[in-house]
């Protein structure tokens, strides 16, 4: 992932001022920019809690009341269990970086790399938590949109 930092404008500025190797600069940059709250929020995306709820495997990032309302609406609309899981579990990378001032300057391949790492983490977590189930976990990109990480139970 270190190579993708070259696509981040703020890191490029940091590198211009650095006098040491890229890996040690990355550590210094991380120490300078890291915030505990941001790291905790990132962990919730990278290694989220998944729960089994009414036979569905869902990211556990919502209250039971909101989850029940969502499930009622989805079932009334005729969604399949896989559709319900996909919509609930998916994350658009652009939603994670809405307030990053450099967001539009970062090359698409950086977002793809982040999405791929998130998908790999989700796959590991789901297989660890639910070893007897199979999952479809991946990254989808449509023209003009940021990558989307998704997960749902495979049949």
Provide the residue ranges of all domains of the chain, joining segments of one domain with +: 1-34, 49-153
Going by pLDDT thresholds of 50, 70 and 90, the confidence category of residue 19 is low
Give the global pTM: 0.82
pLDDT digits (tens, 9 = 90+) for 67-113: 999 999 999 999 999 999 999 999 999 899 999 998 888 888 889 99
Burial 20-57 (b: 16+ CB within 10 A, else e): eeeeebbeebeeeeeeeeeeeeeeebeebebeeeeebb
């Amino acid at each position: 992932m270190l190579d993708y930092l070259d696509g981040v404008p703020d890191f490029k500025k940091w590198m211009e001022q650095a006098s040491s190797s890229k890996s040690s600069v990355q550590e210094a940059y991380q120490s300078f920019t890291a915030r505990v709250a941001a790291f905790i929020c990132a962990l919730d995306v990278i290694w989220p809690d998944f729960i089994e709820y009414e036979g569905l495997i869902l990211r556990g990032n919502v209250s039971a009341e909101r989850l029940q309302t969502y499930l009622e609406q989805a079932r009334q609309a005729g969604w399949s269990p896989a559709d319900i899981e996909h919509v609930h579990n998916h994350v658009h990378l652009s939603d994670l970086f809405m307030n990053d001032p450099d967001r539009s300057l970062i090359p698409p391949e950086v977002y793809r790399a982040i999405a791929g790492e998130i998908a790999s983490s989700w796959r590991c977590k789901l297989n660890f938590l639910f070893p007897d189930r199979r999952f479809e976990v991946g990254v989808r990109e449509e023209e003009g949109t940021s990558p989307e990480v998704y997960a749902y139970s495979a049949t």
